[in-house]
C-alpha cells in the first residue's frame, strides 16, 4: 500500500486501526498478507482466541525523491543492556504502543526484531525468513504524516528476547538494510 494524498493520511489512519484492533485483544491494554487481512485475522473469533496481540509493520519513507515510498524507514531507539549499559538500536519493524492523543498522527512505536527461521539465508534467493517477533522495549515517537506507505505482517504475539536473540535481530536488520 502506498499513497501520497496529503488531504488524508492513509498511513496514520491504518496505524490507528491497528492500534484499535490490538487494544481489543490485548490483555493489558485481498492479499495473502496485507494490513486489511492482518486486521481481520487479529479480530476474527478464531484469531482472537489464539493469544495474538500485535500486528507488526514497516513504514515506507515519504521522501521527495525517485525512491519515495520504496525504502523502509529505519527507526532508532535506546535499549538497556543491563543496569549500567545502554545503547541505540535500529529496526525497520514496529508495533504501535499508543497514540499521543486522538487528534494527532503522533504515535509511540516499539522497535521489533525478527525471530529468524534459519540463521543463514537461502543462497539462491537470498531471503531472510521470520517465524516470530521479539519486543525490544525501545520506543520512539513518530509523526505518521511523514510516511507514504505501510506494510503489515501477520498478527502475532511478541516474545521477550535473550541477548542472543537481540544480536541475531541486529544482524538480520543490518542484512536487510544492506540489500535495500
pLDDT at residue 124 in the model: 44
Kindly report whether the global pTM for this prediction surpasses the value 0.85.
no
Question: In whole angstroms, how far apart are CA 151 and each of 40, 123, 124, 136, 165?
Answer: 15, 25, 25, 20, 23
Count of domains forming the chain: 1
Q: Is residue 5 part of a domain?
A: no
**pLDDT over 50 at 53, yes or no:** yes
> What does the alpha-carbon distance between residue 125 and residue 129 come to, in Å, rounded to a whole number?
11
The reply to whether 134 falls in a domain is yes
Rounded-to-integer distance, Cα 174 and Cα 168, Å: 10
In a domain, 4, yes or no: no
Query: What single-letter DSSP state applies at residue 2?
Result: B
Residues sharing a CB contact under 8 Å with residue 146, sequence separation 6 or more, in sequence order: 62
Its domain, for residue 110, covers 10-179
Could you tell me if 141 and 108 are in contact, meaning their C-beta atoms sit under 8 angstroms apart? yes
- Contact predicate 12/144, CB 8 Å: yes
Does 67 reside within a domain? Answer: yes
> pLDDT at position 3, please?
44
pLDDT per residue as tens digits for the range 110-159: 999 988 876 655 544 456 778 889 999 899 999 998 888 899 999 999 99
- The reported pLDDT for the residue numbered 63 is 62
Q: Is residue 137 part of a domain?
A: yes
113 within 8 A of 74, measured Cβ to Cβ: no
Amino acid at each position: 500500500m502506498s499513497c501520497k494524498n496529503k488531504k488524508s493520511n492513509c498511513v496514520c489512519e491504518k496505524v490507528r486501526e491497528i492500534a484499535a484492533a490490538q487494544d481489543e485483544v490485548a490483555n493489558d491494554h485481498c492479499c495473502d498478507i496485507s494490513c486489511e487481512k492482518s486486521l481481520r485475522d487479529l479480530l476474527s473469533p478464531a484469531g482472537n482466541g489464539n493469544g495474538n496481540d500485535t500486528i507488526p509493520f514497516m513504514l515506507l519513507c515519504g521522501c521527495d525523491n525517485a525512491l519515495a515510498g520504496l525504502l523502509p524507514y529505519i527507526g532508532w531507539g535506546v535499549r538497556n543492556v543491563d543496569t549500567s549499559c545502554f545503547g541505540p538500536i535500529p529496526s525497520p519493524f514496529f508495533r504501535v504502543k499508543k497514540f499521543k492523543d486522538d487528534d494527532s498522527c503522533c504515535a509511540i512505536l516499539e522497535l521489533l526484531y525478527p525471530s529468524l527461521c534459519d540463521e543463514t539465508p537461502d543462497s539462491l534467493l537470498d531471503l531472510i525468513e521470520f517465524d516470530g517477533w521479539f519486543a525490544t522495549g525501545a520506543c520512539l515517537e513518530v509523526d505518521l504524516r511523514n510516511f507514504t506507505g505501510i506494510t503489515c505482517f501477520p498478527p502475532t504475539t511478541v516474545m521477550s528476547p535473550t541477548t542472543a536473540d537481540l544480536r541475531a535481530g541486529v544482524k538480520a536488520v543490518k542484512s536487510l538494510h544492506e540489500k535495500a
